[in-house]
Chain A
Amino acid sequence: MTCEQIRELLSPFSDDELDAASSRAVERHVAGCAACAAALDELRALGIRVRREADYEPAPDTLRARVLADIGLARPGASGPRAETIAPGRARIARANPWRGLAIAAGLLVLLGGAWYGGRIGAGEDALMREVTAAHVRSLQPGHLMDVVSTDQHTVKPWFAGRLDYSPPVTDLAPDFPLIGGRLDVLNGRPVAALVYQRRKHVINVFAWPEPGARDAVGPTTSRDGWHVIEAAHAGMALRVVSDLDPRELEGFAQRLIAAK
């Protein structure tokens, strides 16, 4: 293929949306053509820049309140924002309302009823599942994915020291599942380590927190709303692996994760 033809494929190629044959053709060409390789780099850099710099913000609380009222979810006595959020200029107050975290709202009642003990599987698992998927969704918003951006496990691991009172297992699984960074997240009101991996365009979040005595294992996959969550345990940590990646691939990832030293 000519450079011109390749250039037209770079955009879908960078999105991992080409069929296998075209994709291989682009790979081969780019390996031997500095100009096209530079064009591909530029395209990828553009994507990063757009994701980082474009306007993106959570829906205003006033809007959320209006929507919830419309669909009949703003109920008296519940945590929904009420009159004060309707008055403009009181938005600051509304900021603090619990509706901001969507899944918090969804999971709140369940959480209140069935306590969750350090991630033990039981009555609280459903709520935890929701929290985990909500945290995953939140992380996919631009600027939320990573606090420390690094493909180097020796950078990511120390980053957590001082931020958490435990040290999560950090393993790079490149080239199949490269580690791209980490961040602090919150599950059930406490900070947990979130490690971010990538498989093609799919982001995989691995949440980790201590669970003393847990034996290394990969548990069942639960799917909800297009997200897949795998329970696992490794090195005395409870893990939750979340992604929209194909469940079989995700399980393969989880297996490799706990096989790591």
Chain B
Amino acid sequence: MADDIQASGPARAALSARELERFERCVLPHLDAAWNLARHMLRDAHEAEDAVQEAMLRACRHFGGLRGVDGRPWLMAIVRNTCLTQLRRRRPAGQAVEFDEEAHTPETAAGPELELARVRASDSVREALAALAIEFREVIVLRELEGLSYREIATVIDAPIGTVMSRLSRARHQLACALRGETAGREAAEHGGDAS
């Protein structure tokens, strides 16, 4: 088996046959997870394909010699970073893509109304999820669709566990509001009060 791989020629990422076998076992099985994270983050199938391809190549390059790392969160972090880079490229210059925690944190002072203003009523989970800010969308995908632990999510998004906890909590709140058909504030006004 190892010989076959070696004979296969251009391992462009230059992993030894043994490492390649390990990559196939530890990282490759998470291709579907990578694909779904990228799709949800980029909301575009073509871009997601490119991002995953690039991320897998990056993963392959950094894989040699790596030990004791859980393949899934590790790969997901690479996919996420690749997606964010891609999003930055996509944005016109000057438009910030950095997540402003404050802007998404009405907390108790402003009350839930402000938060609701960001949520559009939706009768489908797909729509509601797609409408979430990317920082909320990614934690929902990582938690609900991939079933990662908070610790793993923290690794993926490079943030403290407390941040994971509060983002997920708020993301769920927004999703629930959207699915309940609650629209409030600005958006409802803009759309002529189409809230139920």
Contacts and interface: CB of A to CB of B under 8 A. Distances in A.
B67 interface: no
B20 A54 contact: no
B179 A49 contact: yes
Nearest to B171: A11
Contact of A225 (B11, B25, B141, B144): B25
Contacts of B147: 140, 201, 203
Nearest to A202: B147
B48 to A, nearest CB: 8
A186 interface: no
B36 interface: yes
A135 B68 CA distance: 23
Interface in B34-70: 34-36, 39-40, 45, 49, 52-53, 56-57, 60, 70
Contacts of B70: 225-226
A90 interface: no
Given A11-B172, A60-B49, A50 B125 contact: yes
A43 B176 CA distance: 8
Interface in B102-142: 124-126, 129, 140-141
A33 B40 CA distance: 37
Contacts of A76: 8
A54 B147 CA distance: 14
Nearest to A8: B169
Nearest to A10: B169
B92 to A, nearest CB: 27
A35 to B, nearest CB: 15
B176 A62 contact: no
B71 A141 contact: no
A63 B29 contact: no
B1 A70 contact: no
Interface in A70-111: 70-76, 78, 102-103, 105-106, 109-110
A54 B126 CA distance: 5
A42 B52 contact: no
B184 interface: no
Interface in A139-163: 140-142
Contacts of A74: 8
Given A11-B165, A12-B169, A67 B126 contact: no
Interface size class on chain A is 35 or more
Contacts of A142: 145
Contacts of B141: 54
B12 interface: yes
Contacts, number: 147
A109 B8 CA distance: 15
A109 B4 CA distance: 10
A49 B125 contact: yes
Interface string A100-144: 001101100110000000000000000000100010010011100
Nearest to B54: A70
Contacts of A53: 124-126
A67 B31 contact: yes
B11 A72 contact: yes
A109 B1 CA distance: 7
A55 B42 CA distance: 13
B143 interface: yes
Given A17-B165, A102-B31, A225-B25, A70 B172 contact: no
Interface of B: 1, 4-5, 7-13, 15, 20, 23-26, 28-29, 31-32, 34-36, 39-40, 45, 49, 52-53, 56-57, 60, 70-72, 124-126, 129, 140-141, 143-145, 147, 149-150, 165, 168-169, 172, 175-176, 179
Given A71-B56, A72-B5, A102-B28, 8 more contacts: A11-B172, A42-B176, A46-B172, A55-B36, A63-B31, A75-B5, A110-B1, A225-B71
28 contacts: A11-B169, A46-B172, A46-B179, A49-B179, A50-B125, A50-B145, A51-B144, A55-B39, A55-B129, A56-B145, A57-B32, A59-B34, A59-B52, A63-B31, A63-B52, A67-B56, A71-B15, A72-B10, A73-B8, A75-B8, A102-B28, A103-B29, A105-B24, A109-B1, A137-B29, A140-B147, A203-B147, A225-B29
